[in-house]
Amino acid sequence: MTKKIAVLPGDGIGTEIIEQAVRVLGALKLDLDLETQPVGGAAYDQHGHPLPPVTLELAKKADAILFGAVGDWKYDNLPREHRPEQAILGLRRALGLFANLRPAILYPELANASSLKPEVVAGLDILIVRELTGDIYFGQPRGVRELSDGPFKGDRQGFDTMHYAETEVRRIGHVAFQAARKRGKKLCSVDKANVLETSQFWRDIMIDVAKEYPDVELTHMYVDNAAMQLVRAPKAFDVIVTGNLFGDILSDEAAMLTGSIGMLPSASLNASNQGLYEPSHGSAPDIAGKNIANPLATILSAAMMLRYSLDAAPQADRIEAAVQKVLQQGLRTADIYEAGTTRVSTSEMGDAVLKALE
Ligand code: IPM
Ligand code: MN
């Protein structure tokens, strides 16, 4: 049966990297129906909204979404609801994509690309499971208000609300425990339970969910310490589960351990395994249009899409093997370039992956 893929390139380098991933998908001879629509700033320019109805409707009916990146400085002064970031937040919300899987894998060929010593990061393979539709990202109320008492009485105050419902914690807990079960069987839940009520509640629920997974070892860590341990001894982690805000920060940190955020894919899944797949990096407007961005994170995101949403694990394996092969051949985009390797452009990297697939 034909599978429908929504292709949403977005802004900045989004179009260039998505183009390479689409070529790779095309080479697999699968029964896929790809339809492209604008998202983010590109959609705002065309339709006056970062997530216009044509794009949202396509995303809803698709089996999977391949997403590039959104954002550009030129939209910074728009009202918040029209900024490009609202597109990805809106998609996560509208499709209920609560489970964000962000693997951080260090390819042996890139051990020197990391800012950490090779012996600290060699063989790194961790998975961050980030809750994606709750927390202070979506909590209400939020806004700016005038204070009616206290030391700053009469002052204006910006505010947001952090909260987690039990169901939200439980369902991301199950995703994380099940992922850990298939890997090293160690799960570290990251919170700030020494300060935040939301975090203490999160921790209590995780301890309860753990009863269903006696084969997985659950530990807890405060987020400040986790940020430190990730650069001190990252290999001590297997799977990390955390809330939306902490997961945002820790996943960028973890990505950098691997040398380049340009290598890391991600999947955002809902309860029916419909998923949105995107590179972990942003739209990088500073290098957009130069054909120098690394398309591998997006190509690897397409592989995750095949595995998690399209029931095509063998083809996902093929893509991942092809990526490994081009790295072994010494081909590097600028972000992972080092002396002794061959620098290639975005499209040349795509060419090389296509060739390695043959
Ligand atoms: C990410 C991004 C988004 C987030 C932004 C663009 C809204 O940083 O996917 O990590 O904060 O979740
Ligand atoms: Mn982020």
- Ligand 1: distance of its center to the CA of 124 in Å? 23
Q: Is the ipTM of this complex over 0.95?
A: yes
| Spatial separation of the C-alpha atoms in residues 23 and 281, rounded to whole Å | 20
Give pLDDT, residue 256: 87
CB 85 less than 6 A from any atom of ligand 1: yes
Give pLDDT, residue 273: 85
Question: Which mutation among 75, 248, 264, 268 tests ligand 1's pocket best, with the greatest number of atoms within 8 A of CB?
Answer: 248
| Spatial separation of the C-alpha atoms in residues 139 and 93, rounded to whole Å | 12
CB 348 less than 6 A from any atom of ligand 1: no
**Residue nearest atom 4 of ligand 1, based on CA coordinates:** 248
1-98+270-358 domain in CATH 2.40.50.140? no
Considering the candidates 44, 75, 137, 164, report the single residue annotated as catalytic. Answer: 137
Task: Indicate which atom in ligand 1 lies nearest the CA of residue 89.
Answer: 7
Structure tokens at 236: 């001590």
CB 89 less than 6 A from any atom of ligand 1: yes
Is 192 part of the annotated catalytic residue set? Answer: yes
Give pLDDT, residue 191: 98
| Spatial separation of the C-alpha atoms in residues 87 and 94, rounded to whole Å | 10
Tell me whether residue 288 is annotated as binding: yes
CB 253 less than 6 A from any atom of ligand 1: no
Q: What are the residue ranges of helices labelled H in the chain?
A: 14-26, 41-47, 53-61, 85-95, 118-121, 166-181, 197-210, 223-232, 244-257, 296-308, 313-328, 346-357
Structure tokens at 154: 């009469």
* Contact between residue 64 and residue 2 where contact means Cβ atoms under 8 Å apart: no
List residues bridging with 144 in a β-sheet.
158
Task: Indicate which atom in ligand 1 lies nearest the CA of residue 84.
Answer: 6
**Residue nearest atom 6 of ligand 1, based on CA coordinates:** 85
- Ligand 1: distance of its center to the CA of 153 in Å? 34
| Spatial separation of the C-alpha atoms in residues 113 and 128, rounded to whole Å | 21
Pairing of strands 275-279, 64-69: parallel
Cis peptide upstream of residue 285 (ω within 30 degrees of 0) = no
Give pLDDT, residue 1: 86
Tell me whether residue 136 is annotated as binding: no
Q: Which residue has the tokens 């020494």?
A: 194
Is 224 part of the annotated catalytic residue set? Answer: yes
Give pLDDT, residue 210: 98
Q: How far from the centroid of its chain's Cα atoms is residue 308's Cα?
A: 14
* Contact between residue 284 and residue 11 where contact means Cβ atoms under 8 Å apart: no
**Residue nearest atom 7 of ligand 1, based on CA coordinates:** 85
Structure tokens at 111: 């051990």
Is 137 part of the annotated catalytic residue set? Answer: yes
Considering the candidates 72, 164, 192, 335, report the single residue annotated as catalytic. Answer: 192
Is 317 part of the annotated catalytic residue set? Answer: no
CA distances, 28 to each of 25, 194, 354 (Å): 6, 50, 10
Give pLDDT, residue 260: 82
The answer to whether 1-98+270-358 and 105-262 have equal CATH topology is yes
Give pLDDT, residue 111: 85
In this structure, the dihedral spanned by the alpha carbons of residues 342, 343, 346 and 350, taken in order and rounded to 10 degrees, is 0
Each domain of the chain, given as residue ranges in start order, spans 1-98+270-358, 105-262
Give pLDDT, residue 328: 95
- Looking at 3.90.1150.10, 3.30.70.2190, 3.40.630.30, 3.40.718.10, the CATH number of the domain 105-262 comes to 3.40.718.10
Regions of the chain with pLDDT less than 70: none
Tell me whether residue 285 is annotated as binding: yes
Q: Which ligand is nearest to the CA of 50?
A: 1
pTM of the model: 0.94
